[in-house]
Every structure is written in C-alpha cells, then in structure tokens.
Amino acid sequence: MARIAIFGGSFNPVHNGHVFAAREFLRLLDLDRLIVMPAAVPPHKQMPAGSPDDAARYRMLCAAMDGIDGVEVSDLELQRGGKSYTYDTLLTLKEHFPKDEIYLLIGTDMLLSFDTWHRFEDILQLAELGVAIRSDLSAADRKAIDRTAEAFRNRYGARITVFCNDVLELSSTTVRRMLFFGCGDSYLPAPTAEIIRNEALYGLGGNYRNLAYPLLEETVLSLHDENRRAHAVGCSRTAKDLARLYGVSEIDAERAGILHDLTKALRPQEQLRLCEHYGIMVGDYTPDQYKLLHGKTAAAAAEKIFGENEAVCSAISWHTTGKADMTLLEKIIYIADYIEPNRKFDGVEELRRLAYTDLDAAVLLGIDMTIDLLRRDGRSLNRYSLEAQAYLRTGRKHL
C-alpha cells in the first residue's frame, strides 16, 4: 500500500514556498508520491483578472517541480474544467489507486472551515486529512485546531494527521505584486521565472507610463487589498477637491491620491526589498517604522513604472510622515489621506473643516494627532514628522 498525498491550489504562480512545502510534505509524511494539483476554478476564491491561462499555470508548475523525486504534477482538474471540487478529484484518484492510502493536504485555516467544503463528509471517507500547522502557532490556535480535528473525528469518523510544517510565509498575491514592481524573481524557482519573463505573464514588460486616469486607477486598485481600495479612491477624490480650492493642478492631485498607497499591501520585508531595488536609504526609519516606507516605495514606483512627474512623486513620498516646508500638493495629499470619506475617528470632522479653510492648520493638527497617538502608545517618532510639526508651529508664514 503506497502513501499518496494531494497538494492542491491555484499556483498562480507557483513560488518557492510551494516547492519548499512539497519537499517537506514528502519527508514529514514519508510519502511514496505527492500529486500537485492545480485547480481549474478554485471553489473558494476567484482568480484575479489578468491571471495567466490554465496551460501557462500548468507549465510554470511543471517547471518548478521538475526533478523532485516523488513529486508529479497532475492536470486532472484542469482537464475536467469548471469548479474544481476536491470530492470529484478524490473519486477519480480512488479509482486509480483503490488500495493506496490517500492524504489530502490542507492548511490550518482550511481545516477550520472544512465543513463548508462541497461534500466534505464524503471527502472524509475518501481521504485522510494531512493538516500542516506552523510550529510557532499560538497555544490558542493550536487548541482550536485540536478541538476541530477531534470534533471531525468523533462526528464523521474522520482520519486526521496534524503535523508541523514551517512553510515559507509567502502568498502568490505577494509574488504577483512583487513581479509587477520588477522584483519577483527571488520568490520563484528559476525555470518558473524564466517562463514568466519569456511569456510576459503578470503584466511583465507592459507599458504603464502616462496612463489615462481611469486606466491608472484600475491598475493601481488591482495591486491593493480589497479593503484598501475605497480609501485610495476616497483620497484621490478628496485631493482633487482640495486642489481646485487651493489652485493646484487637479490632475496631479487626483493621480497622487490614487497612487499614494500603491505599495501599502506589501509586508515590511517586501518594503525593504523594494527599497533595495529602488536605491532608497532606510536609515531615517527604525524597524518599527518600516510601515512608513510605503510612501517612499510608492513614490519610486510611481516615477519608474508610471512615469509620474516630480510634484506627484514627492507628494506620494511624504504622505506618511510629512516634512518641513511642504509644497501645497504635498500638504493636500497628506491631509486628503487623513480625511477622505472612509476615515472615521474622533476629531475627523474638525480636521475636515480645517482642511477646507486653513490647510496649514489642518496639516499641523493631523501631525499633532499622529504624534500624540504614537506617544500614548509608547512608539517611536519619525524625525520628519517632528520636523514638520516644528516647522508648522513656527514657520507658517510661507503660504
């Protein structure tokens, strides 16, 4: 009786985390074969617009897994087409391997929602679940997993193995974003990176310079997490309104507004990688301030990828901290980010009122509020915010 496991996913694209996980699965579960199964249409999530077709995803996956003993890539779900229900897949595999032991590999969050899967009770009859958990899982999370596993065992006679697998914390979404910013290669097996480059997948090699606003907005929003999109649009609209009021270019304001958080969805380690890529010095930022770097990386990408002008890029660059002696557009983006209609916090109404009557007073109040909050939380203060505060307190004459 052979031990076979199924490792399913979108693999859009396959990345080093997947390859690492595949090797670990083989070793930890002492498998005879690991079948990597790209889904045609994943039942639980939508494939983002602009994703490569099935054939390209399959080719990238085969290239990534090539040469790993015991691993094979199956196009069963791609051939079947339509929604890729695991139940259907397991039925077919059970016909192929009637005497073998079949494991279905899933992650922790999948176990917790497993009872929402199509015909999950039948799945539990066809396969044993292999639940990969991280070794640094909190005690509470570990307890939740054990409780859920126990409930499935008691209620449905499920066979479940929970095992530690410290997979690389990396998502295909992050990889797609980093590909767009021109530094995806280090997340990818070399043969996969080559296919992406040669076939210009994931927008590689596209021309994004001087896009008309609607196209710019669409492209930028595709790089955001869903819950940040309304904020970017709100900031853009508010900045445009303020630009009209204060006599600055509405076009610049609208573009800077939509672009200001372009790289916000990236984690600190990706921010640092982008800083390296764009030659941005990070010395003025302590590690707990790396989140602020998204202003710098967004500005660099706005210039290099979208070809935005200096005024726009500078406003994006300083929106997180402010600085001494800001231009009108820099102030507008700083405050639009703070007061756009999706913002809800104590004092926002006063800030909104001031933004339309006394821009400097509004920016100063915004900076004061940020600094107060950081002080209250015992967090470090960035030097540029302190300089902006000092400048606005003493040198408000320049407007």
**Dihedral angle computed from the Cα positions of residues 57, 58, 59 and 61, in that order, rounded to the nearest 10 degrees:** 90
- CA 4 vs. chain centroid, Å, equals 32
Name the segment binding Fe ion (CB under 5 A); options: 197-205, 253-261, 324-332, 369-377: 253-261
Q: Spell out a b/e string for 66-103, using b for 16 or more CB atoms within 10 Å of the CB, else e.
A: eeeebbebbbbbbeeeeebbbbbbbeebeeeeeeebbb
Looking at beta carbons only, is 195 or 299 nearer to Fe ion? 299
- CA 118 vs. chain centroid, Å, equals 27
Smallest separation, CB 228 to Fe ion (Å): 8
Name the segment binding Fe ion (CB under 5 A); options: 26-34, 165-173, 260-268, 346-354: 260-268
| Range 221-240, binding Fe ion (CB under 5 A) | none
Smallest separation, CB 322 to Fe ion (Å): 12
Name the segment binding Fe ion (CB under 5 A); options: 123-131, 171-179, 258-266, 360-368: 258-266
Smallest separation, CB 319 to Fe ion (Å): 6
Q: Is 252 in the site for Fe ion (CB under 5 A)?
A: no
Smallest separation, CB 59 to Fe ion (Å): 37
Name the segment binding Fe ion (CB under 5 A); options: 34-42, 76-84, 112-120, 256-264: 256-264
Looking at beta carbons only, is 17 or 268 nearer to Fe ion? 268
Distances (CA, A) of 388 to 123, 325, 327, 339, 370: 60, 7, 12, 18, 12
Looking at beta carbons only, is 15 or 224 nearer to Fe ion? 224
Looking at beta carbons only, is 145 or 359 nearer to Fe ion? 359
Smallest separation, CB 390 to Fe ion (Å): 22
Structure tokens at 35: 């079948």
Q: How many residues bind Fe ion (CB under 5 A)?
A: 2
Smallest separation, CB 315 to Fe ion (Å): 12
Smallest separation, CB 220 to Fe ion (Å): 12
Are the C-beta atoms of residues 246 and 280 closer than 8 Å to each other? no
Applying CB under 5 A, which of residues 54, 217, 254, 261 lies at the interface with Fe ion?
261
Smallest separation, CB 242 to Fe ion (Å): 15
Are the C-beta atoms of residues 178 and 187 closer than 8 Å to each other? yes
x/- map, 332-371, Fe ion, by CB under 5 A: -----x----------------------------------
d(CA 383, CA 121) in angstroms, rounded, equals 58
d(CA 317, CA 243) in angstroms, rounded, equals 18
Q: Is 330 in the site for Fe ion (CB under 5 A)?
A: no
d(CA 318, CA 385) in angstroms, rounded, equals 10
Looking at beta carbons only, is 111 or 339 nearer to Fe ion? 339
Q: Examine residue 268 and say whether the peptide bond preceding it is cis (omega within 30 degrees of 0).
A: no
Distances (CA, A) of 289 to 228, 241, 286, 327, 382: 20, 30, 5, 24, 7
DSSP states of 152-219:
HHHHH---EEEEE-------HHHHHHHHHTT--GGGS-HHHHHHHHHTT-TTTT---TT--HHHHHHH
Smallest separation, CB 213 to Fe ion (Å): 18
At 5, give phi and psi (nearest 5°).
-130, 150
Looking at beta carbons only, is 68 or 221 nearer to Fe ion? 221
Looking at beta carbons only, is 252 or 337 nearer to Fe ion? 337
Looking at beta carbons only, is 261 or 330 nearer to Fe ion? 261
Contact residues: Fe ion, CB under 5 A: 261, 337
